[in-house]
Amino acid sequence: MSLSIEALLKRSIQSLILEGSDSPQVDAAVLLCHVLDKPRSYLLTWPEKIVSDEELGNFNALLERRLTGEPIAYIVGYREFWSLPLKVSPTTLIPRPDTERLVEVALDHLTPNAQSILDLGTGTGAIALAIASEMPTLNVIGVDYQDDAVELAKGNAKINHINNVEFRQGSWFEPISLSDKFDIIVSNPPYIDGNDPHLSEGDVRFEPQTALVAEQNGFSDLIHIMQHGREYLLNGGWLMMEHGFEQGEQLRHFFEEHGYINVKTEQDYAGNDRVTLGQWVVDN
């Protein structure tokens, strides 16, 4: 059966709506662009073009996966973050638009003399690469304990031609020498409680729990990084971490208990608490 681009999109959007996708138009267009290896504008310019049998077969196979709820980013293998195309894999989290807020907060707190940034739980390398791409004179280190994530992040640095970043494997501060001190430590660690019902909904179902779930109601990794971050920050350096929208108040309290000053929480683009930060001043 021969189908035009327009007819194929229409048919697949209907199937996606029936399966409850909340972004059927985008899903169908992204998958078809991926199969045709063309930009979105091609679909609008050539709606009457006939899709070949081979392309149709490939498209239907991808659509089937999306209809079972698999995230689009895993199906096409990449996601854009901070305008950088990043490869993704089921080894780690798909970078979220809200995490760009953490990048903005980090860039806002860089002093002109800043030299080094550490990104803990780097995953695809999203945060480290975004910061490194904006500030080519900085040295950025990203750490993840998943070997595959570290390889993914290294590949993403290569694809994007970003050279001022290094990725290391290990648990949190383990691969960092105590003599290395940082102007800013950023992290988007696992922060979801294991009993949170959102873990069985949407894209999150397909992402690894190792990237999402933390003990102590989701706070254990946040607190670990806060405790040990003090040893790795330069005097006046900042620790800033992404967290759940209901964790801000508690986290500010923990930061202050650990001796950080100028503690504050920044909101994401929807106005929810998303990033809490504090400054480490020696002799405070």
Ligand X SMILES: C[S@@+](CC[C@H](N)C(=O)[O-])C[C@H]1O[C@@H](n2cnc3c(N)ncnc32)[C@H](O)[C@@H]1O
Which residues are at the interface with ligand X (CB under 6 A)?
92-93, 95, 99, 121-124, 126-127, 143-146, 149, 171-172, 188-190, 210-211
Name, in order, each residue with C-beta under 8 angstroms of 183's C-beta and a sequence gap of 6 or more.
110, 111, 114, 115, 116, 117, 233, 234, 237, 238
Q: Which is nearer to ligand X, 60 or 171 (CB)?
A: 171
Minimum CB separation from ligand X for residue 246, in Å?
A: 16
102: left (phi over 0), alpha (psi -120 to 50) or beta: alpha
How far apart are alpha carbons 244 and 231 in whole angstroms? 25
Distance in Å, CB of 12 to ligand X, minimum: 28
Q: In the chain, count of helices (H) and strands (E)?
A: 10, 11
Q: What is the dihedral of CA 139, 141, 142, 146, to 10 degrees?
A: 150
Cα separation, 74 vs 267, whole angstroms: 28
CB closer to ligand X out of 12 and 89: 89
Least Cβ distance, residue 111 to ligand X (angstroms): 23
> In the complex, what is the shortest distance from the CB of residue 228 to ligand X, in angstroms, rounded to a whole number?
11
Closer of 27 and 221 to ligand X (Cβ): 221
Which is closer to ligand X, CB of 99 or CB of 160? 99
CB 247, min distance to ligand X, A: 13
The residue among 81 and 260 lying less far from ligand X, judged by its C-beta, is 81
Please report the DSSP string for 135-202 in residue order: -TTSEEEEEES-HHHHHHHHHHHHHTT--SEEEEESSTTTTS-TT--EEEEEE----B-TT-GGGGSG
Q: What is the DSSP string of 216-232?
A: TTTTHHHHHHHHHHTTT
- Least Å distance, CB 34 to ligand X, is 21
How many Cα atoms occupy the beta-carbon half-sphere of 269 within 13 Å? Answer: 9
Measured from the CB atom, the residue of 174 and 249 that comes closer to ligand X is: 174
